[in-house]
């Protein structure tokens, strides 16, 4: 074989290899997009289901303790059938600290928020997650806040203010002002979770991360909820109902175990900003279901607020990213 033919063959082999690598990367990205899409559909469904549980079956803290303990048991069982993955002590502290921030604090605030406001208002506030991620990134890791991003933030604030003001007259919650405030705090703590764990997420499998997150969550929430457990209809011998049990099973297995597994899985391939964009699906799913089952009603302020917060998220993520690349 001539030198020229050998070189040509080597070049073709290298080209084919690079093509295979690109195909695997594209397939990996497609799978990651599918994972975060499914996670946010599940989270969107989880909002009205959580409202049903809080209205009829459990208190916010009992709800959190059940989620934490159930998810911890499932993830530790799954981990028992996997090869042990050693975790550096420093990373373990980050994982568990992030878990306290992103699950215990954020989801407890979520439960309290849904106790006071409607699923539609809550889900619209959740759409501000990309804005919250951008703000926390600017504060804690020095990401530059451009004028365009500032416009996005102002639009998001305008949407939140509209919900607060109109919630006092048109809202269907027991205290929409308090509920929306708690929802905003929930979004901020979730954004902190994403920022805190962004590096550690890429180092370990989702199961390893989740088993420690929900272990520390259960250790914190179960003792707090234990004294009131017997008074909850879901756990009372005379008040137990399969409807509540099925709703709680959905929250534990789907909105907690599967949903929280898919997030770190997708973050191994996608950026935190891209992951946060998919949060925009949650209000669409949650609003449709909540209105369909009579948990909320459509009023003029909701679509206007939706336009403002979705436009805010779009500017902060898609438009700004295109502008700077």
**What digits encode the pLDDT tens for the residues 214-256?**
999 999 999 999 999 888 999 987 888 899 999 999 999 999 8
The DSSP symbol for 174 reads S
Q: Is the pLDDT of residue 324 over 70?
A: no
Per-residue pLDDT at 67: 92
Per-residue pLDDT at 320: 47
**In sequence order, what DSSP letters do the residues of 39-106 get, joined into one string?**
HHHHHHHHHHHHHHHHHHT--HHHHHHHHHHHHHHHHHHHHHTS------HHHHHHHHHHHIIIIIIH
Tokens in use for 244?
A: 């509540």
Angle at 250 between CA 259 and CA 256, to 5 degrees: 30
Per-residue pLDDT at 273: 62
Per-residue pLDDT at 23: 57
Q: Is the pLDDT of residue 300 over 70?
A: no
How far is 220 from 222, CA to CA, in rounded Å?
6
Tokens in use for 192?
A: 């902190």
Tokens in use for 146?
A: 């451009």
Output 269 or 78, whichever has higher pLDDT.
78
Name the residue with tokens 């946010």: 40
Per-residue pLDDT at 122: 84
Q: Can you tell me whether residue 298 is helix, strand or coil?
A: coil
Cβ-proximal residues to 237 (8 Å cutoff; 6+ apart), any chain: none
Per-residue pLDDT at 74: 93
Q: Is the pLDDT of residue 323 over 60?
A: no
Cβ-proximal residues to 172 (8 Å cutoff; 6+ apart), any chain: 118, 295, 296, 297
Summarize the confidence of residues 166-185 as an average pLDDT. Answer: 75
pLDDT class of 265 with cuts at 50, 70, 90:
confident
How far is 319 from 310, CA to CA, in rounded Å?
12
Let me know: does 269 contact 32? Beta carbons within 8 Å.
Answer: yes
Output 186 or 143, whichever has higher pLDDT.
186
Q: Is the pLDDT of residue 117 over 80?
A: yes
Output 161 or 52, whichever has higher pLDDT.
52
Radius of gyration of the chain (CA): 22
Output 236 or 305, whichever has higher pLDDT.
236
- Of these ranges, 11-25, 102-116, 284-298, 300-314, the one predicted with the greatest mean pLDDT is 102-116
Let me know: does 54 contact 111? Beta carbons within 8 Å.
Answer: yes
């Amino acid at each position: 074989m001539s030198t020229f033919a050998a070189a040509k063959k080597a070049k073709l082999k290298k080209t084919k290899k690079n093509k295979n690598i690109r195909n695997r990367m594209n397939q990996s990205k497609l799978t990651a997009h599918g994972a975060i899409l499914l996670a946010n559909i599940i989270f969107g469904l989880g909002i009205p289901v959580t409202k049903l549980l809080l209205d009829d079956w459990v208190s916010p803290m009992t709800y959190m303790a059940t989620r934490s303990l159930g998810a911890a048991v499932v993830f530790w069982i799954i981990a028992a059938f996997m090869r042990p993955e050693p975790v550096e002590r420093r990373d373990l502290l980050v994982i568990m600290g992030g878990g306290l921030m992103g699950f215990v604090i954020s989801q407890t605030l979520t439960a309290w928020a849904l106790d006071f406001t409607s699923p539609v208002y809550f889900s619209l506030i959740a759409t501000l997650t990309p804005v919250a991620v951008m703000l926390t990134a600017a504060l804690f890791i020095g990401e530059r806040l451009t004028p365009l991003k500032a416009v996005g933030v102002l639009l998001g604030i305008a949407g939140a203010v509209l919900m607060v003001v109109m919630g006092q007259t048109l809202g269907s919650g027991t205290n929409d002002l308090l509920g929306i405030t708690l929802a905003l705090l929930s979004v901020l703590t979730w954004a902190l979770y994403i920022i805190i764990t962004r590096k550690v997420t890429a180092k370990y499998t989702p199961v390893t991360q989740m088993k420690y997150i929900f272990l520390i969550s259960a250790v914190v929430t179960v003792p707090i909820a234990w004294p009131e457990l017997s008074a909850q209809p879901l756990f009372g011998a005379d008040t137990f109902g399969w409807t509540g049990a099925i709703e709680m099973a959905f929250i534990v297995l789907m909105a907690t175990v599967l949903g929280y597994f898919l997030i770190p899985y997708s973050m191994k391939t996608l950026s935190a900003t891209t992951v946060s964009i998919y949060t925009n699906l949650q209000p669409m799913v949650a609003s449709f279901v909540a209105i369909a089952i009579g948990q909320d009603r459509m009023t003029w302020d909701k679509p206007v607020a939706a336009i403002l917060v979705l436009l805010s998220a779009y500017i902060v993520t898609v438009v700004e990213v295109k502008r700077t690349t």
